[in-house]
């Protein structure tokens, strides 16, 4: 996939899969419509997001849109299968999705499993192809190296066949990202590990990607919420959990520097990953159309170089 074909700002669909709360079909449609009207043409999804709900909603929205006008990525590694023990009422709250727990996720990074996952995703999306296929959270299997030993050749084979245009790996875990960078995949989706608050991927992942020509898509740039407002709050989320006191203190210091330069903290958070050469795109998600439009505005806001220099001088970023 040529770089010009990957828009620099994408929309992540976890929220329209009912992550952390319920959206109706109409509300999910409104968010997607706001993204389209704001010019977003890259949409990232996964079977994991709402047990397929995000893929179904995204596919319904894109139906009728010219296929050459947008880029879609999805993920593989978790197969969705019927849960024979489901009581008809339980929700998937263990994974923070407010959807019926009628399906279970089963880890599978074999060639057969990856192919089955892609075929099921295409069926839910109602598409004949996706542009990018990521291996999703291989560390979750408990055997990271084993998952990559089968998963990397599997996605590369699908690319060779022309089933997808580009392949990669997405993870919140630095070790998985390091091994993904070593594998020389087309793309890495770096989730929460290359942000204003937390940059462990800067040490080895970024230079390895630069050397191999692997592009990075930065996701979870707000670290689940602590960087999403101008005044980081103790009740904010960090990686879908409580924010550690040290992270909160750092976020507040960063917010103070941003205020000194008249720059909203979320704008700096959205733009920071693009300062690393291999980063080709930033993906962010929300369940609120107004927040989405604000994110788009933040992504294009002019930020003085002096702000970044001040953050470096304060020891807040490398």
Whose CA is closest to 195, among 305, 304, 316, 277?
A: 316
Q: Parallel, antiparallel, or unpaired: how do β-strands 103-107 and 78-82 relate?
A: antiparallel
* Residue keyed to tokens 């960063």: 254
DSSP string, 204-245: THHHHHHHHT-EEEEE-TTGGGTTSSSS--TTSEETTEEPPH
Q: How far is CA 147 from CA 55, 111, 134, 182, in A?
A: 24, 10, 13, 15
185: which 2 tokens? 């995949």
How far does Cα 241 stand from its chain's mean position? 17
- Chain position carrying tokens 């203190």: 249
Could you tell me which residues come within 8 angstroms of residue 12 by beta carbon, excluding any fewer than 6 positions away? 44, 45, 219, 283, 284, 285
Residue with the two structure tokens 């560390």: 139
Assess whether 49 carries a catalytic annotation: yes
Distance, in Å, from the CA atom of 301 to the CA atom of 271, rounded to the nearest integer, reads: 9
| Encoded tokens for 106 | 């089963």
Of 156, 191, 165, 196, nearest to 284 by C-alpha is 191
Nearest-angstrom CA–CA distance, 61 and 294: 21
Q: How far apart are CA 23 and CA 92, in angstroms?
A: 15
Catalytic residue, chosen from 49, 134, 238, 272, is 49
Q: Which residues are catalytic?
A: 49
């Amino acid at each position: 996939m040529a770089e010009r074909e990957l828009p620099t700002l994408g929309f992540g669909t976890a929220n329209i899969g009912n992550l952390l709360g319920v959206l109706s079909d109409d509300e999910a449609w409104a968010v997607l419509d706001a993204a389209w009207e704001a010019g977003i043409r890259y949409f990232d999804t996964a079977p994991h997001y709402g047990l397929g709900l995000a893929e179904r909603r995204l596919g319904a929205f894109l139906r009728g849109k010219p296929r050459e006008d947008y880029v879609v990525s999805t993920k593989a590694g978790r197969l969705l299968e019927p849960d024979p023990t489901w009581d008809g009422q339980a929700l998937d709250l263990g994974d923070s999705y407010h959807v019926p727990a009628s399906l279970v996720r089963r880890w599978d990074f074999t060639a057969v499993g990856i192919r089955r996952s892609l075929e099921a995703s295409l069926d839910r999306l109602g598409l004949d192809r996706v542009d990018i296929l990521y291996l999703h959270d291989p560390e979750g299997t408990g055997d990271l190296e084993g998952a990559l030993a089968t998963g990397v050749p599997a996605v590369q084979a699908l690319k060779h066949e022309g089933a997808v245009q580009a392949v990669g790996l997405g993870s919140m875990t630095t070790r998985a990202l390091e091994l993904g960078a070593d594998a020389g995949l087309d793309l890495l989706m770096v989730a929460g590990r290359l942000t204003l608050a937390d940059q462990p991927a800067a040490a080895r992942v970024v230079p390895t990607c630069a050397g191999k020509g692997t592009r990075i898509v930065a996701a979870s740039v707000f670290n689940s919420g602590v960087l999403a407002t101008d005044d980081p709050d103790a009740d904010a989320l960090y990686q879908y959990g409580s924010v550690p006191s040290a992270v909160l203190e750092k976020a507040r210091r960063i917010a103070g520097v941003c205020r000194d330069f008249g720059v909203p903290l979320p704008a700096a958070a959205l733009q920071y990953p693009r300062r690393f050469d291999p980063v080709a795109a930033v993906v962010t998600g929300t369940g609120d159309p107004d927040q989405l439009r604000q994110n788009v505005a933040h992504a294009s806001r002019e930020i003085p170089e002096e702000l970044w220099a001040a953050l470096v001088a304060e020891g807040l970023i490398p």
